[in-house]
Structures are given as C-alpha cells and as structure tokens.
Amino acid sequence: MSTFLPRSLILPLYVAIAATSARAQTAPADHSHETEPVILESLVVTASPTARSQADLVSATSVLSGSSLLDSRQASLGESLAALPGVSSTYFGPGASRPILRGLGANRVRVLANSTDTLDASNTSPDHGVAIEPFLVKRIEVVRGPASLLYGSAAVGGVVNVIDHRIESELPAGPVSGLLDTSLTDNGRGYATGGSVDVALAPDRAAQSGFVLHLDGLRREADSISVPGFSGQPGAPKGDLVNTSVDNKSASVGLSYVSETFDAGVNHNGFDSLYGVPNETEVSIDLRQRRLDTSADYTADFGIFTGARAKFGYADYQHRELDAGVVGTRFDQTGFDSRLELLNGEVAGWTGALGTQLGQTELSAQGDEAFLPTHTTQSGALFLFEELVRDATTWQVGARLENRLIEADLFASPGGTSYTARDDSRTTVSGSFGLVQTLSPAYKLAASLSTTTRAPNGQELYADGPHIGTGAYEIGDAHLTDETSLGAELSLRKTTGFVTGALTGYINRFDGYIYEQATGALVDATNAPVLPGDPEALTQTRFTQTDAFFYGAEAEAIWHLHASNRHTLDLTTALDTVRALDDHDQDLPRTPPLKGRLALDWKKNAWRAGTDLVLVSRQPNTATGETSTDGYTLLGLSAGYCLETGPVTYDFFVRAANLTNEEARLHTSFLKDVAPLPGRAFTAGVRASF
C-alpha cells in the first residue's frame, strides 16, 4: 500500500483543529445544515443543469446529508444507500458494494464524484470496490430512473452523485474551518478517523472573494466481521465471515479561488483500499487510485448565456488481486472525464443548458483472470436540456447525441484462442420529455417519457476468460447490437401539511437487453469441460440479448407527528418493489425483492434519537437456476447530542445496527449463499466541526 498522503496530511489536520479550537476569536461556522432532516423540499444539483427542489424535478430523487448521512454511512457506497427507496446493492462483503437502482446496476447506473465519473473498474465486477470512501462526504444525491441526457447512456438506471466539496466554492466563515470525525464499531473491531480543513488565503470579505486551501485525510481499519449463524463459507466457524477485513486510506490537497461570479479550483486526491473477498478465503484486493480534479463556474451573463461551468477529472487506477499475498491478476486503468455546460437565459421562454461531455479510459488486465483484452474506450457527446414554465406547468425536454469508440488489442484468451478484437464505433441518440404540474399549493404531479440507446461496452463485446468474482467463465459477443430502452414514470408528490412524500410508478421496456446467460456448461479456467463437484468448476456464461420489461413502484411518506421550534417527531414510511422479466416472461436474475421501511426520528434542542426498521420480503421470483432468498427484518437504533462550545460544535452519536442479530442474505448479491449481511453491531463516534 502506498503511504502517499495520509501521514503527511492527517497530522496537519489535527494541529489545525487544535489551534483553531483554542482561538476564541474565530467566528463560529454555520452548522445548521449538519442537522437538517432529509425532506422532499431538499435541493438537488444532479438531475438538472440548475439546482431544483425534489418536488420540482421530473425524476424521483433521494438525498442523504447531515445527521441522516452520519447515521447511515458504511465502509462501502452501496451499503450506505441500501435503505433508500428503490436502492439495493451488489454487496460483496464490507469492502465492495455498488448501488443498484430499480433492479439495474453495473453499466446502467452511473456513480459520480462531484458530477464526474469515478474512473474506476467497479462496473466490471461486483468484487471491485468503488473508489470512494463515504466517511467524509458532505452529501449524496440519488436520481432514480433515466438520467442519460446529462450523464450518458450508462445512466439509464439512474445516477449516484457523491459530493465532497474538495474544490470549495465559498469562503470559510472564519480564517479556518473544518471538521474532525472519529468512530468505533465492535463488529470487526473497526475504527474510522479523519478530518478536513479549509483555510482562507488573502480573503476580501467585502467582495466575498479569495483563495481557499483544502486538506483532508482519513483512515479506516476493521477485522473480519461477525454474522448470525453459519455464513456458508466452507469450514468457516459459526458466527464468522472470514476474509472480510478492510483497510482504507484517503487524502487530498486542493486550492480554489472563489468570488461572487467566478469560482475555480484544482484538487489532487488519492484512495487506497485493501480488502478481503469472502468467496475466496485467501484472496484480497489491493485497490489504488490517484486522481486530479479541476472545475470552474461562471455565474454572470454573456450573450444569451447566464453562466457556464466546466469539470475535468483524470485518474490513474490500479487493482491487484492477491492470492495468499501473491499477485494473481492486475487491472490497470487510466482515463479522464470532462464536461462543459453553458446555461442559457430565456430563448422563446425556454431556459436550460447546452453541454458537451468527453471521456476516455484505457483498461488492461494481466494474470490469471485476464478475461479482457486491453482496450481503449473513447466517448463524446452533445446534450441539450431545456424547460419552459407556463402558469402551473413546467415542461422539460432534452436530447443527447453520443459517440462511443472502442479500440481493442490482440488478445490471447485463457481458453487458447488468439484473435484480434474488432474496433467498435457506435453513435446513439437519447431523448426525454416530461412535465411537472402544480395541482394545488400542496400537491404536484410529475410525468416523463424517455428513450435511451446504450452501446455495449468492452466487457460485453470482448470478454473471454475466467472471472472468479462471479464464479463464471465469461464469453462476450462482438456482434451485440445496441440496447434501446423506453421508459415512462408518473409521480404524485405532497410537499406541505401533516404528511409529505411521493408515490411513483414506472415502467421500462428494453429492446436488446444485454445480460450474462448461463449456458449450462461447467468449465475450468481454460474453458475445458469439468464434472459437477469439481472444486475448480466455473459456470460458463455468454453475453446475450433479449427483450426485457422492468416495472415497479415506490412510495415514501413523512408523517410530521409533532413540529415546533424546539421539538420535532417524524415517522417515515417507505415501500418499493420492482419486477424484471425477459421476452418469455421469465424473471431476470438478482432482482431486488419487496422492501419496506419504518423510521421514527425525534429531536429536541441538542438531542436526537431514532429507530429504523427495514423489512425485506422473500424473493420467490427467480431466474432459471437461481435460488430464492428468505425475507428478513433489520432493526436499528440511533441517538445523538450536539454540543456547541465557542467556535467548535461537537456532534456525539451512537447507533446499533441489526439489533436482533437476524440472518439477512441479499438477493442482489452474487455471494448471497456465502456472505450474509453483518450481524449485530454497535458504533459510537464524535464529529467536531468549526
């Protein structure tokens, strides 16, 4: 593991925090946003070119921030979001978990870091972790349903945008602001600690301009977790899920210029993660990413435009799979993602944005599981997003033209076949139409119709080799056609009154849906046939196409049982379901089951407490050869106290997860028979912000 940043940055963080705490003259920061409840009216910056409240967006959204994020964050992104409506995860142990939205994942859900791609390999396999550590993030926005107009055809299922403010757009309230966060958990005997500091350099308070130096760093360590009963791992002791330890490091340094009309900045950051994979008890993954991000935002008028913003991210990513400490397979990827948006003022009553997005990645695999040729993927797109307000109706339309080119090298597959993978160039068009209708001061109706065309990626076209993460020998198909989807969504939202919330229904019809289909053959790592029971047996799978139909519903309501300046009591109820069928009305694999949630949140002055009950039903709707999973109930409790002492605010918190120690196996996980979710866990911590 590289020691590039954590030791060099964490010490200055502690020193800066200690120095600032001792300075009574430092102006206290505004911490009100840290405890804001997540409600329907939260602003979202991911689903449209300009920030909109959740009620005014065509798409269904969820937001985690403040104490809600503090109480839900886990070591992986997928598990941090898993309780939200319409969200599940790929859960591959504590170290690797990617979000699934409405039954769609991998190359149909875009995971972003501050609106640019994460530039990792998490979409190629569920055992590949997302190169984001949720511990220090400020906000996570989830857009459920097609978001392909702004972020590409890989967002047909939705977008998860992780916002961390490493490139600041505002001056700190005082000379220095920041936070220090530490937590301990008993399950896995783990800890996480980190902090961030923003320093105002040569600020002009009258003009609200100046430079901001940003530093942050964190460290997370945990041993293997405990689970209820026997995990399913061969020979594992009762109560243990072996080889699930986690060791994460992350840090960054950045410099920004901020003013009333122009912000720009640059940040260099790194992420290291060493974690075990439960299906191979001697195998661990060593993930390393170094990343450079820049952004600029101009908010003054010029010509017909009212502003412009640009973002650029470049990353060098490395992923090594270690077998008893020896490198067996290595994935390397370098790439960039960039976008430019021009915000236009009224043109015949329409306002919105015209934008372009350019990206490139080069992915190579070497070693025992080199199931992919080295290939470069280049993409370029133009997109348009416009809206028109007429009386009580807001109309939204958009279109995207995208070109994707894959250039692949000569590849000798483990099965002994040498061939030159063909270069593949595709141009696709996507579009959407929607409206938000204000029915009354309390009710709004949103409806949308969208079509998205997605070109197959390099894995779907060219895979040919063993993939231990999925227990398969994967075979791609260079003749796959484009995947086209037609989606419709209808949502009724209530924004004020005793009850607020939303009821949403959706359908999504795919022509040429691309998925892995088991051929029924068992093979070894060279694609040679083996007999059942062979310890080296892999399921042979081929990427194929079928027509598919996804439909489902989501309901979420917040019952405001009591509200006053000093005391609030809210009851949240939520329910979501999805069904995914092929053209023969057969269920597609790993479809999330029905999920419900009951949460009670109480706040009085500096105190808060809550209980959270997640109920997941049995999943009997299975694909051919897939086993069903039993239902389960997860009970959580949390409490916190906020203490303000001069310039520093301390937020103490405790929480209990899976309090009844119930066995829970995630139907969407490839490891559901081997790796149940963690058993009972208690976590305590404190966040000091100034």
Q: Is the pLDDT assigned to residue 229 strictly greater than 80?
A: yes
Element containing residue 689 per DSSP (H, E): strand 681-689
* 564 phi, psi to nearest 5 deg: -150, 180
pLDDT, mean of residues 229-251: 95
Phi-psi region of 671 (alpha: psi -120 to 50; beta: other; left: phi over 0): alpha
How far lies 552's CA from each of 31, 508, 577, 592, in Å? 38, 9, 5, 11
Tokens (6 digits) for 622: 């299975």
Taking a C-beta distance cutoff of 8 angstroms, is the pair 143, 168 a contact? no
Confidence of residue 33 (pLDDT cuts 50, 70, 90): very low
Q: Is the pLDDT assigned to residue 27 strictly greater than 70?
A: no
Confidence of residue 420 (pLDDT cuts 50, 70, 90): low
pLDDT, mean of residues 189-210: 93
Do strands 499-523 and 595-604 pair parallel, antiparallel, or not at all (unpaired)? unpaired
Write out the DSSP string of 566-619: SEEEEEEEEEEEEEEEETTSPBPTT----EEEEEEEEEETTEEEEEEEEEE--B
pLDDT confidence of residue 546: 95
How many angstroms separate the CA atoms of 548 and 303, rounded?
46
3-state secondary structure of 303: coil
Give the chain's mean pLDDT. Answer: 90
Tokens (6 digits) for 682: 């208690």
- Range 6-689: architecture per CATH: Beta Barrel (2.40)
pLDDT, mean of residues 483-501: 96
pLDDT confidence of residue 36: 40
What are the structural domain ranges in the chain? 6-689
How many angstroms separate the CA atoms of 148 and 684, rounded?
39
Rg (CA), the chain: 24
pLDDT (tens digit, 9 = 90+) per residue, 259-273? 999 999 999 999 999
Handedness of CA 80, 99, 571, 30 (dihedral sign): positive
pLDDT confidence of residue 10: 37
Q: Is the pLDDT assigned to residue 49 strictly greater than 60?
A: yes
pLDDT confidence of residue 437: 98
Q: Which residue from 447, 553, 560 is spatially nearest to 40, judged by alpha carbons?
A: 560
Q: Which residue from 690, 552, 688 is spatially nearest to 183, judged by alpha carbons?
A: 688
Q: Which of 35-39, 81-85, 105-109, 660-664 has the weakest average pLDDT?
A: 35-39
CA angle 453, 458, 460 (to 5 degrees): 70
Q: Which residue from 52, 34, 33 is spatially nearest to 143, judged by alpha carbons?
A: 52
* 129 phi, psi to nearest 5 deg: -75, 155
pLDDT (tens digit, 9 = 90+) per residue, 429-453? 999 999 999 999 999 999 999 999 9
